[in-house]
Structure 1
């Protein structure tokens, strides 16, 4: 069941995994990060940029934050500079985690409507489904990046949620 506590847990997990992914990617050369290695968004850099775009797009819908420029096709080029993207990721994760900590059960009820550029129409879905998708999207593309990093010999460390977050 999706609860406010689950949303905060997932935001905390995603922030930690992003830290690990960016640290591993930081051990590569710029050329290695930008090489098209056949992922859906091409390169490690392009996929991480797409994730920044996706997270910012969903947070614009959820919380009224400013929406990023461009659409899905532009997303791999949204953050052209590695160091700036890495710093922006840390800031975005901090904001996402803080926002998720404010959720109450009412925030998960009802539906959210928006205009989907990908579908070219108005869409409405239950909020709890969209929050689930938000975290699933992060995990999906971060898994692609993890595979690309592993193929290049970079190491992220453990990725299993129960073993990387402190639980009381």
Structure 2
């Protein structure tokens, strides 16, 4: 279904997008980050926090590392400020990139089994599907953030994959 090269490309894309979001967030007053914009996860920061929480949860399943505390309901409060979010986002992006760069084709085959707090039961799905889901989930929520930034009158980042720099910097 996917290759290690795909994972590296998506990890780089993720880091590139999040660097741009960091810059966009820094250009906004703090109140604009936490303003309820009636999005699914409320605010810009709430949505960014949920996305970070989801990445950390999936990475814990892929690399066996630390998972975030709490469930989806508390994911919007993961970081209280834009600055705290940017620090944790940088760490998560480095974790994702290092993981992707270390993948071999065999690491993407077989099933992944995990406990889903959202569904309250054990899940079992193809590992490659779960990896694709993590990257798709990122794109989905960054699209929401892009729309909220635009509605707030901010300059939203370039998100087109073909326009990603070929040589980084990724983090």
Task: Provide the TM-score with structure 1 as the length reference.
Answer: 0.96
CA distance in 2, matches of 1:11, 1:153: 28
Alignment-derived partner of residue 2 in structure 2: 2
Paired position in structure 2 for 1:97: 97
Aligned positions, number: 167
Distance 1:60 1:158 in 2: 29
Q: Does 1:118 align with 2:118?
A: yes
Query: Is the 1:28–1:154 Cα contact (8 Å) retained in structure 2?
Result: yes
Correspondence 1:109 to 2:109: yes
1:85 Cα shift? Answer: 1.3
In structure 2, distance between residues paired with 1:49 and 1:158: 20
**Equivalents in 2 of 1:84, 1:150: separation in Å?**
23
Runs of 4+ in 1 over 6 A off after TM superposition: none
Offset, 1:134: 0.3
Aligned to 1:25: 25
| Conserved? CA contact 1:46–1:76, under 8 Å | yes
Are the equivalent residues in 2 in contact too, given 1:2–1:128 (CA < 8 A)?
Answer: yes
CA drift at 1:16: 0.3
State how far apart, in whole Å, the 1-side matches of 2:86 and 2:40 are.
20
SS of 1:155 mapped into structure 2: coil
Q: Is the 8 A contact 2:21 2:157 kept in 1?
A: no
Distance 2:89 2:34 in 1: 17
Which secondary structure state, in structure 2, belongs to the residue aligned with residue 103 of structure 1? coil
Gaps of 5+ in 2: none
Aligned equivalent of 1:160: 160
Cα distance per residue 1:35-78 (max 9 Å; x no partner): 11011100000000111110000000110111101000000011
**Cα shift at 1:165:** 2.4
Give ranges in structure 1 of 5+ residues lacking alignment. none
Deviation at 1:104, TM superposition (A): 0.7
| CA distance in 1: counterparts of 2:58 and 2:140, whole angstroms | 15
Q: How far apart are residue 153 of structure 1 and its match?
A: 1.6
TM-score of the superposition, structure 2-length normalised?
A: 0.94
